[in-house]
């Protein structure tokens, strides 16, 4: 059954009330028309509950702006949906192309801080080392739009889109990411399912991090992080003892990063959230701990770039070179695949926030 506006409908009952389903909800393709965003394709999803978001087809098939009703959920950076032909992934130039948004994918062969690393495994004697920039090259790559639409199963309807992103080079990595994004009619949760494949004939490194950026008014003074974890370990130059409680935007604020040892529920999934009790809203993520064993929190509570990011990751915050030293740097062999799942949802009102807190406090016993 479909639940909309406090009423339940069968498929036939609902469709009797509208000219076409897009009157209420759906997924539609648009294109940006001006400035540095010109030419970027967007898929706009809406569930009919007020939950809506945009998929940036030409920016890694990532999730950009998102809303519930009139309330924005994601942080949207000053850069916006920069067209991929302007993107520069060298050094820390990643920030010049970082749109923010609800999900920014980092990878596919490198995440976190960069530098020069050996690349002799690509068998090209004129380039035995590779330069890696902050968070890799993925975010600036356009996707091939495989398809989008709606699928009915009895009285339930799912909106979906699929895209393929290729990160490839001659004498370098040859990786693809196939992504499927789903949203149920009447639902408040988006689902991302990714498969990364080494389509080349030499092994290559693989790292991935999901940069989930929550913005005002969900984050505001007094909002809190709700994690199934003990106190995090500060891994940045600046730290705050009470880092789980957010503060108002600060001038000259220096970013903070924390690592967390998350606990999964009986289903193997971690649930982590930002909860704003005053606004009666929370945004949460759910992901498989076996796939993404590390979690980093980025607090950047400065004026003009006021954002809190929850970042499930294959690797620790120290990044590539630390992973190599620990023996944790992952390699994909030719034809090898890795799969990832990430859900992002919205909780509204005291009852839903209470259920979310209970799920996080006792993850082995309670699920959403």
The domain spans of the chain are 2-361
Percentage of the chain with pLDDT > 90? Answer: 90
Please state, as a whole number, how many other Cβ atoms lie within 10 Å of the Cβ of residue 264.
18
Quote the DSSP letter at residue 321: H
- Say if CB 229 and CB 260 are below 8 A apart: yes
- Say if CB 276 and CB 331 are below 8 A apart: no
Return the structure tokens found at 359: 């799920």
Q: Which CATH class is domain 2-361?
A: mainly beta
pLDDT at 54: 98
- Taking the mean position of all CA atoms in its chain, how far away is CA 62? 7
Return the structure tokens found at 172: 């370098």
Residue 89 pLDDT exceeds 90: no
pLDDT at 120: 86
Quote the DSSP letter at residue 73: -
Nearest to 368 by CA among 265, 259, 289: 265
pLDDT at 363: 77
Where residue 168 falls among pLDDT bands split at 50, 70, 90? very high
Kindly report the CA angle at 19 between 16 and 24, in degrees rounded to 5?
Answer: 90
Please state, as a whole number, how many other Cβ atoms lie within 10 Å of the Cβ of residue 273.
24
In sequence order, which residues have a C-beta less than 8 Å from that of residue 99 and are 6 or more positions away?
A: 56, 59, 62, 64, 76, 77, 79, 80, 81, 82
Q: Which helix (H) or strand (E) holds 363?
A: none
Where residue 342 falls among pLDDT bands split at 50, 70, 90? very high
**Candidate from 89-93, 109-113, 272-276 with smallest mean pLDDT:** 89-93
Where residue 90 falls among pLDDT bands split at 50, 70, 90? confident
Q: How far apart are CA 123 and CA 201, in angstroms?
A: 11
Q: What is the pLDDT of residues 258-283, one digit of tens each?
A: 999 999 999 999 999 999 999 999 99
Residue 367 pLDDT exceeds 70: no
Return the structure tokens found at 332: 């994909």
Residue 230 pLDDT exceeds 90: yes
pLDDT at 366: 59
- Say if CB 329 and CB 318 are below 8 A apart: no
What is the mean pLDDT of the segment spanning 18-39?
A: 96
Where residue 91 falls among pLDDT bands split at 50, 70, 90? confident
Residue 244 pLDDT exceeds 70: yes
Kindly report the CA angle at 192 between 352 and 222, in degrees rounded to 5?
Answer: 40
Q: What is the pLDDT of residues 136-167, one digit of tens each?
A: 999 999 999 999 999 999 999 999 999 999 99
Q: What is the pLDDT of residues 279-332, one digit of tens each?
A: 999 999 999 999 999 999 999 999 999 999 999 999 999 999 999 999 999 999
Q: How far apart are CA 161 and CA 150, in angstroms?
A: 9
pLDDT at 221: 98
- Beta strand ranges found along 172-220 (DSSP E): 174-184, 189-198, 204-215
């Amino acid at each position: 059954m479909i639940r909309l506006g406090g009423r339940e409908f069968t498929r036939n009952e609902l469709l009797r009330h509208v000219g076409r389903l897009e009157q209420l909800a759906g997924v539609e393709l648009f294109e940006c028309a001006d400035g540095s965003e010109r030419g970027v394709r967007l898929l706009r999803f809406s569930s009919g509950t007020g939950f809506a978001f945009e998929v940036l087809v030409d920016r890694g098939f990532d999730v950009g702006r998102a809303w519930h009703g009139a309330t924005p959920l994601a942080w949207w950076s000053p850069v916006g949906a920069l067209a991929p032909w302007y993107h520069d992934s060298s050094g820390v130039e990643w920030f010049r192309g970082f749109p923010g948004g609800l999900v920014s994918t980092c990878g596919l062969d490198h995440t976190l801080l960069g530098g020069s690393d050996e690349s002799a495994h690509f068998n090209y004697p004129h380039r035995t080392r590779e330069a890696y920039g902050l968070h890799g090259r993925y975010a600036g790559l356009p996707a091939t739009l495989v398809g989008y639409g709606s699928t009915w199963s009895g009285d339930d309807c799912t909106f979906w889109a699929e895209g393929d992103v290729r990160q490839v080079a001659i004498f370098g990595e040859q990786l693809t990411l196939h992504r499927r994004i789903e949203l149920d009619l009447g639902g408040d949760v988006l689902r991302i399912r990714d498969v990364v494949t080494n389509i080349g004939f030499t092994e290559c490194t693989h790292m991935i991090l999901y940069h989930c950026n929550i913005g005002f008014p969900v984050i505001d003074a007094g909002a809190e992080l709700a994690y199934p974890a003990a106190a995090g370990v500060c891994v940045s130059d600046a730290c705050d003892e009470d880092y789980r409680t957010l503060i108002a935007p600060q001038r000259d604020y220096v970013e903070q990063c924390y690592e967390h040892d998350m606990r999964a529920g009986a289903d193997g999934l971690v649930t982590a959230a930002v909860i704003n009790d005053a606004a009666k809203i929370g945004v949460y993520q759910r992901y498989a701990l076996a796939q993404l064993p590390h979690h980093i929190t980025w607090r950047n509570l400065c004026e003009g770039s006021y954002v809190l990011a929850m970042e499930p990751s294959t690797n620790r915050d120290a990044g590539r070179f630390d992973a190599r030293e620990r023996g944790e740097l992952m390699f994909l062999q030719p034809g090898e695949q890795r799969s990832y799942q990430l859900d992002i949802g919205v909780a509204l009102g005291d009852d839903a926030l209470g259920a979310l807190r209970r799920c996080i406090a006792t993850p082995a016993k309670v699920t959403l």
